[in-house]
């Protein structure tokens, strides 16, 4: 019972974003009916050229939340984008989202995150096996699932930074990242997400700070690229 309670609680906290999205897709009839795919060849070719990922379509998920998701393992990739992301972001900003999601796939992040979650189950089961009392077992199961979730989110965030960096190096116009980060920050503030709250930082992969860092890194990339092009032109001269 304590092992089951730990596994369920831990896996639920760690994957709750995906679970909510799945439940919404399953029960919201409006979502099902209006969902259609992105089949724009220019977008799919761009993703293919820049990341090597071949997609026949991008699934569109009709919700008023902004997110993108990369589902599936090689060789079956599924990229999912929400309609609200399409509504809010321009061409350059969307390119970053596509490249970021493709990065998750190319860098095997889904598999790594699944392995990471399994990895956390092992020490927890060992610790729980040493607790013989039934109610203490349940108490420790909850305590461990909460503590390990916090550690998990901090590690999972590294994948977000890695995918963002992957996209940053390949994006046509890094300016798009800066404007996207600005929009996202504003949107978060409007929704009243306590972006600076410790609780939010502990139990979420995507935090407000990521956007701050995104804009900073994009600025550096613009600097780097302009430096590069001026050296090249100086070389030609």
Residues forming the site for Zn ion (CB under 5 A):
160, 163
Instruction: Work out how close the CB of 160 gets to Zn ion at its nearest, in angstroms, rounded to a whole number.
Output: 5
Minimum distance of Zn ion from residue 59's CB (angstroms): 16
Nearer CB in complex with Zn ion: 60/146: 60
Based on CB atoms, which residue is closest to Zn ion, 144 or 156? 156
Is there a contact between 163 and 68 (Cβ–Cβ < 8 Å)? no
Minimum separation from the CB atom of position 88 to Zn ion (A) = 17
**Closer CB to Zn ion, 95 or 160, in the complex:** 160
Task: Indicate the residue among 6 and 61 with the shorter CB distance to Zn ion.
Answer: 61
Which pair of structure tokens corresponds to residue 49?
Answer: 């050229």
Q: How buried is residue 200: exposed, middle or buried, by Cβ count under 10 Å (0-12/13-18/19+)?
A: middle
Q: Which residues pair with 58 in a beta bridge?
A: 38
Distance CA 62, CA 86 (A): 10
Name 231's Cβ contacts closer than 8 Å, sequence gap at least 6: none
**Smallest separation (angstroms) from Zn ion to the CB of 103:** 8
């Amino acid at each position: 019972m304590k092992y089951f309670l730990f596994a369920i609680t831990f896996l639920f906290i760690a994957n709750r974003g995906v679970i909510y999205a799945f439940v919404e897709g399953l029960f919201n009839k409006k979502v099902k009916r209006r969902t259609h795919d992105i089949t724009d060849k220019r977008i799919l070719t761009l993703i293919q050229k820049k990341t090597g990922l071949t997609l026949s379509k991008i699934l569109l998920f009709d919700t008023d939340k902004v997110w993108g998701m990369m589902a599936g393992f090689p060789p079956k990739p599924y990229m999912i984008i929400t309609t609200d992301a399409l509504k809010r972001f321009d061409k350059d900003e969307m390119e970053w989202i596509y490249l970021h999601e493709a990065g998750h796939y190319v860098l095997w992040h889904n598999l790594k995150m699944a392995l990471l979650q399994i990895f956390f189950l092992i020490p927890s089961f060992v610790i729980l096996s040493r607790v013989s009392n039934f109610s203490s077992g349940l108490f420790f199961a909850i305590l461990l699932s909460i503590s390990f979730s916090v550690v998990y989110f901090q590690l999972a965030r590294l994948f977000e930074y890695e995918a963002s960096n992957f996209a940053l190096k390949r994006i046509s116009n890094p300016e798009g990242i800066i404007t996207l980060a600005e929009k996202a920050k504003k949107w978060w503030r409007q929704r009243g997400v306590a972006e600076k709250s410790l609780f939010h930082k502990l139990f979420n992969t995507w935090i407000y700070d990521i956007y701050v860092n995104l804009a900073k890194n994009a600025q550096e990339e613009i600097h780097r690229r302009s430096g590069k092009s001026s050296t090249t032109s100086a070389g030609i001269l």
